[in-house]
Amino acid sequence: MANDQHKEKAKVFSRRSLMLGGAQAALMSVLAGRLYYLQVLHSDEYTMLADENRMNIQLLAPLRGRVVDRFGVEIASNRHNYRVILIPEQTSSVEKTLDALAQYVPPDSIDRERVLKEVKKKRSFVPIPVVDNLTWDQFAQINVNSPDIPGIQMDVGATRDYHYGDLFSHLVGYVGAVSEKDLQNLEPDPLLELPEFRIGKSGIEKYYDTALRGKAGISRLEANAYGRTIRELNRQEGIPGNDVILTIDQQLQEFAAKRMGSESAAAVIMDIHTGDILSMVSVPAYDPNAFARGITSKEWKELVSNSKRPLGNKAIGGQYPPGSTFKMVVALAALEAGVITDSHQVYCKGHTNLGKHRFHCWKRGGHGKLNLEQAIAQSCDVYFYDIARKVGVDRIAEMSHRFGLGEKLDIDLYGEKAGLIPTKDWKLAVQGVRWQVGETYNVGIGQGFVLTTPLQLAVMTARLANGGKAVVPRLVRSIAGASPDETNRDSLAVAPDIGVSQAAMRPVLRGMNKVVNGKRGTARASKISTKGWEMAGKTGTAQVRRISKKERIEGVRKSEEKPWEERDHALFVGYAPYNDPRYAVAVIIEHGGSGSKAAAPIARDLLQETLRLDPLRRPSLDVLARRIPGESDA
């Protein structure tokens, strides 16, 4: 019986062994199948996932493209940014490290509060920028003493450099850090996520930001499970941004800015045939390098509190009554409408009456009897009151638009203003009241509701000088060596005709010649004496406040006796040479007083320097780039 029990136990053990062995075999089969699934069927996928856990891929910011003038002179480029980086885990005391570093850099250059906040937020091995934009001497001194400053690393990056400071600030603009608003408004680009990446914030830097930006590079880094970088596996550098070649002449720009001095003013010089802007100056200006490195609150307050508005580009964003520089447009409107001929005469006794209201001429005793050319030369207000009334405000407005006034000209910059050329319908729609004849009188002398920009006045003058061709202004010749036709408007093509007859243009241009070269011209003191360089033009003085009847009786105060902000704006538009026109200029001096005394001498000097430099006949960057090495200038 004991033997039977032994046999039964053996059978039970055998069955259990078989069941356990079968279960183990099944489990092993499952494990083997899973291993086959992972290591064979999905080997590539999991290898990639493992590599991704092991590798970090970082974007590398490309070098930003340069901005150069028409002759290749660098205006904006990149320079080395010498800086100090802190690795918190490599120092026993961040505070002591910052104290030691402060011995070698300006005391206000270290933002201790920011650094300490970042130390608390980030892992101890993550680098934290401490000081940027060190000089080479500072960088070298810290490098030599780095063993005594635990936790720091020296680094060399790239930062934007504006070689001429404030000279091109309103044209080229500046770069700055990417804001939340930028991320919402700009096209998606991984580069925008980089902490220290800079984009264009104004000027050419903003308008052509995408072209200047370039394409990102890639760095593959091996990292451990904590995210610590072990080594760089490989690197692919980014593609630098494209260079932007401007129409500007650096020498002429520098001369114009110096000639404008400390005024609150703007000037534009352009080629009357192609529309190339050779100089565009707005003063005072600002240093874009301050924005590129990070402007301080003190610097910002000084800029925004300046009454002369250094941050604004007056050349395209300043809107001013054109004053008497508008009289050529009024004359052409009257001639083309047939309401007058060039022999039309008006007697000026110093004022004219409309009902009970008296409209004065700038010359208190009057000019006597004048024809059209004489009225332009002597800038007689009474003459233009008369012809403005005859032609009407709507036909003046229509002619104004032919000359580029009252509308944006689509220059390669943001912030351009359209100005204002009023009509009867405009006033009724905006103010809800009908147009009055007295308002037409004011429009006739470029006052009242009329507003223009210096750029528009330069374009108006260019279209007058080139015989009525609708030339449009441009600031960029090419991008990355491409032709202007590929990157910009086809400004080099023959401009369309604006539809003004030469019979109407001739007496107006003769009048502009007499403004400067006639015996009684308002700008005769500013004529160019060099034979073949003679200038034609028109002065303008735009009131910023109405002169009361009491002031006229007691005697109008001289400009220098008034507070600066109550003085009239001074304007001048002109072109040269008169017999072979090529260059046009527009100048406005805010609160400068008289156009003949303040603006005309500056315009003369600008045109003389333009003719001396003659940038359109000097070999430009495009020509130099096509030359064969060793080819002589002959």
448: nearest Cα among 428, 429, 425, 423: 423
Q: Does residue 272 contact residue 573 with C-beta atoms inside 8 Å?
A: no
Name residue 231's beta-bridge partners.
Answer: 222
* Of the candidates 499, 592, 478, 487, the residue with the CA atom closest to the CA atom of residue 541: 592
Tokens 């147009």 appear where? Answer: 435
Instruction: Decide if 272 contacts 583 (C-beta within 8 A).
Output: yes
* Omega cis (within 30) before 129: no
Q: Are 275 and 471 in contact (CB under 8 A)?
A: yes
Cα 302 to Cα 520: distance, rounded to the nearest angstrom: 45
* Contact present, 400 and 378 (Cβ < 8 Å): no
- Neighbour-count burial for 141-153, b at 16+ CB within 10 Å, e otherwise: ebeeebeebbbbe
Within 10 A of 71 (CB to CB), how many other CB atoms are there?
A: 19
Q: How many CB atoms are closer than 10 A to CB 207?
A: 20
From the list 438, 500, 446, the residue with the least C-alpha distance to 327 is: 446
Q: Which residues are catalytic?
A: 324
Question: Distance between alpha carbon 145 and the CA centroid of its chain, in Å?
Answer: 43
- Residue 105 CA: distances (Å) to CA of 70, 132, 153: 39, 10, 15
To 5 degrees, how large is the angle CA 122–CA 125–CA 126?
50
- According to DSSP, residue 598 is labeled I
Q: Please state, in angstroms and as integers, the Cα–Cα distance from residue 550 to each residue in 137, 545, 555, following that order.
A: 67, 14, 8
- Let me know how many helices (H) and strands (E) the chain has, helices first: 25, 20
**Cα separation of 579 and 421, whole Å?**
31
Read off φ and ψ for residue 447, nearest 5 degrees. Answer: -120, -160
DSSP code of residue 444: H
In a 3-state reduction of DSSP, which class is residue 574? strand
The residue to which tokens 């395209």 are assigned: 316
* SS3 assignment, position 585: strand
User: 63, exposed or middle or buried, with CB in 10 Å at 0-12, 13-18, 19+?
Assistant: middle
Question: 309 vs 352, 379, 431, CA distance in Å?
Answer: 38, 31, 29
Count the residues in the chain: 634
Tokens standing for 259? 């000639």
Tokens representing residue 265 in the block: 């003013």
Distance CA 443, CA 421 (A): 9
